[in-house]
Each structure stands twice: as structure tokens, then as C-alpha cells.
């Protein structure tokens, strides 16, 4: 048993977290369309949604086609969501924060305007 514990300690020391003796911050939750989702520090909104099994969170203006992450680097606008009341946020670029309220988006995300 003692050798296993030592082996685990050595293996941990060789990981990036172990090498810098980093301890990640604890996880938190965000609200997505009324559903509480777990999130980890440093993850984007898209990563939080993906890890919860959600791959589509926007509908297009014309035709209502489902969209999610397409490019993953902020070049396209397929992954738009509303975060804390701000529409048209690219889920692949916005870091999730504790207590964020995220809504899927229809068209332009401006409910008070015709689409």
C-alpha cells in the first residue's frame, strides 16, 4: 500500500497542476434556461453547456434551425446566447462565472424587436 501512495504522489507531481503546486478553485453552478448546471473555473459557457450534454442553444432567424458551437474560436456567430441579460454573447468566448443566468437565444436575441 505504501508504494501505491508514493506512486500516486509522484504521478501527481508530474502533472501540470502538480508541477506548479496549483489547486483549482472549486466548481460552481450557472442557470441555463431555468436549469442549474455544474461548471468548473476557466470553462467557457459553451464548455459548460457541452459538458451538460447540451449541443444546441440558439435558433436562426430564418427557419428556426438549431445552432451551437461551430468554429469554437469566436469567428462565427452560431453559438450566441444571452448571459445575464446581455444578448448576442458568443458562448465559446465568454467565461462562465458563478451565478450566471444564461438563456438560449432566438434569432437576434432582442425580444422587443421583430426578427
- Please tell me the predicted confidence (pLDDT) of residue 40: 94
Better pLDDT: 106 or 56 = 56
- What is the C-alpha R_g of the chain? 19
Q: Is the pLDDT of residue 10 over 50?
A: yes
pLDDT, the chain, mean: 86
Q: Where are the domains of the chain?
A: 25-106
Share of the chain residues as helix, strand and coil, in percent rounded to the nearest 5: 20, 25, 55
Q: Is the pLDDT of residue 101 over 90?
A: yes
Q: How confident is the model at residue 80 (pLDDT cuts 50, 70, 90)?
A: very high
Q: Is the pLDDT of residue 1 over 80?
A: no
Q: What contacts 6, CB < 8 A, 6 or more positions away?
A: none
> Please, what CATH class does the domain formed by 25-106 belong to?
alpha beta
Amino acid at each position: 500500500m505504501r508504494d501505491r501512495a508514493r506512486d500516486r504522489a509522484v504521478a501527481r507531481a508530474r502533472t501540470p497542476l502538480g508541477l506548479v503546486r496549483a489547486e483549482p478553485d472549486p466548481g460552481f453552478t450557472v442557470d441555463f434556461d431555468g436549469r442549474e448546471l455544474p461548471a468548473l473555473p476557466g470553462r467557457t459557457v459553451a464548455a459548460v453547456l457541452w459538458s451538460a450534454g447540451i449541443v444546441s442553444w440558439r435558433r436562426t432567424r430564418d427557419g428556426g434551425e438549431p445552432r451551437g458551437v461551430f468554429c469554437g474560436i469566436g469567428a462565427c456567430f452560431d453559438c450566441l446566447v444571452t448571459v445575464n441579460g446581455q444578448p448576442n454573447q458568443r458562448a465559446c468566448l465568454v467565461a462562465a462565472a458563478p451565478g450566471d443566468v444564461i438563456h438560449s437565444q432566438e434569432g437576434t436575441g432582442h425580444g422587443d424587436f421583430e426578427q
